[in-house]
Amino acid sequence: MDEQDRVAAFVDEYGLETDLAYHVLDLESEVGEIAKEVTTSTDYGRDPAAAAVATDEVGDALFALLALAEAADIDASAALDEALAKYEARIESSGDPGSGE
């Protein structure tokens, strides 16, 4: 995935290499910021139609996820292909993409 390569090059260029656990925590933090935006933009769920998410926050979460994939030596494109195949198989077998767990 070109995006994963771009993130890996950025991390390398700016010396942002770190432990895998840090990448997981960073991803959690970035997704939490998205959740906070939705929480506040909807007045804590009272107005779901007002949900808003800033593009840069999604970008931050994508950066964190791709940096995590790189640190874990996971090809993000292959992981996405695997996930899509899994969801497709679930939909075909049960009509629902959820795991049911």
| Domains of the chain by residue range | 2-94
Q: Report the interhelical angle of 76-94 vs 2-13 (nearest 10°).
A: 140
CATH superfamily, region 2-94? MazG-like (1.10.287.1080)
pTM for the full predicted model: 0.90
Lookup result for tokens 């939490």: 32
* pLDDT tens, the chain, 101 aa long: 799 999 999 999 999 999 999 999 999 999 999 999 999 999 999 999 999 999 999 999 999 999 999 999 999 999 999 999 999 999 999 999 988 76
